Amino acid sequence: MTFTPSAPLGAAASDTPLAVPPKGGGRRRRRSRFHSGSRLAILVVIIGYLLLPLVAMLEFSTRGDYGSRSLDSFAAIFTYPDLIDAIVTSLEIAVLTVFGMLLLLVPTMIWTVVRVPRMRRVVEFLCLLPLAIPAIVIVVGIAPIYQWMGRHLGPVGGSPLTLVLIDIILVLPFAYRAIDAGIRGVDVATLTDASRSLGAGWPRAIVQVVIPNIRGGILAAAVLAVALVLGEFTISSLLSFNTMQVLIFAVGKRDAYTSVAVSLTALVFAFVLLIVIARFAPGAGSRGQGAAEEEEPLATPLPTRAVR
């Protein structure tokens, strides 16, 4: 069937553009479904890898008589005075380590970025160096210093709190990466120059201007430091200090259930800290909103082509 040029139907058909779907749409949808399935599979594997040991520890520590379940192992923690003292000591060491690490790293990294950017690689190398030195080597090198401190400084030199000096070194690689990620996310040089031009001194510029903008990285570094200090065993044991991990090892020889209960409590405490940081760190809400906006498809018209 043919249409003559004078026919109004043919003219309307020739002048009306028809929407043609873009090529490769089905392939993109299949690729998107494949990527979503891959992400879900990876997430399931990671969650299983993290949660299965905790579930196994919970199952073991709650075993009772004749197949029953009991919380006696968790209640027995308070029947070991030495264990309670060791837990308190480890928490004190963790708090002091966090403060010492932040006082050492934050001003140094900010000053390096603002004033001497050429030294950034040198500072990074020095902070990451403890990763290449085994803990046993650190103990062998620092044990004579602790012996001298114990003989000449009295109770202060023999206190377990002196482990803060070593723990600050151990947490430097992890804390540096966390704080460096926060610093790279903002223009520290511009912030400090602007605050200085308005009359603020260096301490005020760092405390009131820079630190609030990198608070997320600082909180992450603090959690990493606490987790590392609570899990440190080798150095404390070789230097004969009774910290939480040393007492857990000693209690485990007599009561394995209570030992696992204390370990599970420490791990849950670290997980709770991570969740708190993920929830209350600055920018958490805006990141989620930004991700939702990125996932929302844009309403763009389909390309059209006139069919003649």
Q: DSSP for 243-290? A: -HHHHHHHHHHH-HHHHHHHHHHHHHHHHHHHHHHHHHSTTHHHHHHH
56 and 86 in a single domain? The answer is no
Q: Answer whether residue 16 is part of any domain.
A: no
Q: Answer whether residue 23 is part of any domain.
A: no
Domain of residue 135: give its range.
Answer: 80-282
Residues in the chain: 308
**242: burial class by Cβ within 10 Å (0-12, 13-18, 19+)?**
middle
The mean per-residue pLDDT over the stretch 20-40 comes to: 68
Residues 6+ apart with CB under 8 A from 219: 277, 281
27 confidence band (pLDDT: 50, 70, 90): low
The confidence score (pLDDT) of residue 26 equals 63
What CA–CA distance (Å, rounded) separates 12 from 248? 86
61-91 per-position pLDDT tens digit = 888 777 778 888 888 888 888 888 888 898 8
**76: burial class by Cβ within 10 Å (0-12, 13-18, 19+)?**
middle
Closest CA to 202 of 215, 193, 213: 193
139 and 253 in a single domain? The answer is yes
The confidence score (pLDDT) of residue 260 equals 87
Q: Cα–Cα distances in Å, from 142 out to 133, 139, 145, 156, 167? A: 13, 5, 5, 17, 12
Closest CA to 227 of 66, 115, 136, 101: 101
Q: Answer whether residue 18 is part of any domain.
A: no
Residues facing residue 69 across a β-bridge: 63
Percent of the chain with pLDDT over 70: 80
Q: Answer whether residue 232 is part of any domain.
A: yes
293 confidence band (pLDDT: 50, 70, 90): very low
153 and 90 in a single domain? The answer is yes
Number of folded domains that form the chain = 2
161 and 235 in a single domain? The answer is yes
H or E segment at 103?
helix 81-114
165-183 per-position pLDDT tens digit = 899 999 999 999 999 988 8
For residue 110, the Cα-to-chain-centroid distance in whole angstroms is 20
Q: Answer whether residue 266 is part of any domain.
A: yes
Q: In this structure, which amino acid lies at residue 227?
A: A
Q: Answer whether residue 68 is part of any domain.
A: no
Output phi, psi for 305, to 5 deg: -140, 130
What CA–CA distance (Å, rounded) separates 97 from 226? 8
How high is the mean pLDDT of the chain? 78
104-119 per-position pLDDT tens digit = 999 999 888 888 888 8
136 and 106 in a single domain? The answer is yes
